[in-house]
Amino acid sequence: MKYVIGNWKMNGNMAEKDSLLKSLKNVRTDNKVVICLPFTLLCGNTFGITIGAQDISEHTNGAYTGDISGAMLIESDVKYVLVGHSERRFYHHETNDIVKAKATAAIQNKIIPIICVGETADEKNAGRTMSVVKKMVLESVPKSGNYIIAYEPRWAIGKGVTPSANEITAVHETIFKTLRGIKKENTPVIYGGSVDAGNAGTIANLPHVDGLLIGRASLKSDTLLPIIKTIKE
């Protein structure tokens, strides 16, 4: 079983959500498919498809205008939540400490956090990918509970470029060893960044790659369904 997780980011409307989830309903697959929707699309019919959110407050409740708590997400039957996506880290200045607090809040509400890590182009060019990713993992994961790590090199997101198979394997191996060092070697590690039907099968079958996190190609069934079908269980 591989994870195939869509991240709609700030895209879509109710009709488009209904259309995609309905089309997924008829797909026979052993892969675990999850669609992470904008907050406003989390209510309504999910057609039996597992849905996730894209952010969660680290707080339980109170005067945090605009934030959404874990208890609120549960009411919408949310099972997964992205935390520390690079767009949250960049546009909303989320630090590893904040990401860790959000992941902890998710676990307290029985929602599985998908903790995103990844280096910038400058960090990659300076040869710092491994040290940056390792530090992000160690500082962003909660003390206990189950989670997923998503490796998303920032320079590959939305750019139509991906790291080579060797580069992805090397980073995922580093993440695996980092997790083994804290006795969390069973944690799934998924890859995200310009995944499409052409590269999904190859990437998903690399060592230590437990699935994919997909942005643009998750928005429509004609781009998402071929990805799900191409991944060997």
Residues that bind ligand 13P (CB under 6 A): 7, 85, 152, 157-158, 192-195, 213-217
Contacts by residues 181-186 (CB-CB < 8 Å, ≥ 24 positions apart): 182/138, 182/141, 184/141
Residues involved in catalysis: 85, 152
Q: Is 35 helix (H, G, I), strand (E, B) or coil?
A: strand
State in angstroms the smallest separation of the CB of 196 from ligand 13P.
8
Nearer to ligand 13P (CB atom), residue 73 or residue 227: 227
State in angstroms the smallest separation of the CB of 3 from ligand 13P.
12
State in angstroms the smallest separation of the CB of 8 from ligand 13P.
9
Q: Is 79 helix (H, G, I), strand (E, B) or coil?
A: coil
Say if residues 36 and 51 touch (Cβ distance below 8 Å).
Answer: yes
Which secondary structure element, helix H or strand E, spans residue 53, and what is its range? strand 50-53
State in angstroms the smallest separation of the CB of 151 from ligand 13P.
11
Tell me how long the chain is. Answer: 233
Nearer to ligand 13P (CB atom), residue 163 or residue 193: 193
State in angstroms the smallest separation of the CB of 221 from ligand 13P.
16
- Please tell me the distance from the alpha carbon of residue 49 to that of residue 47, in angstroms, as a whole number: 6
**For 79, left (φ over 0), alpha (ψ -120 to 50), or beta?**
alpha
CA-nearest of 189, 43, 17, 18 to 116 is 189
Nearer to ligand 13P (CB atom), residue 107 or residue 157: 157
User: Dihedral of CA 34/38/39/45: which sign?
Assistant: negative
Nearer to ligand 13P (CB atom), residue 11 or residue 71: 11
Nearer to ligand 13P (CB atom), residue 126 or residue 161: 161
Q: How many CB atoms lie within 10 A of CB 130?
A: 16
The residue sitting closest to ligand 13P, measured at its beta carbon, is 215
- Please tell me the distance from the alpha carbon of residue 11 to that of residue 158, in angstroms, as a whole number: 14
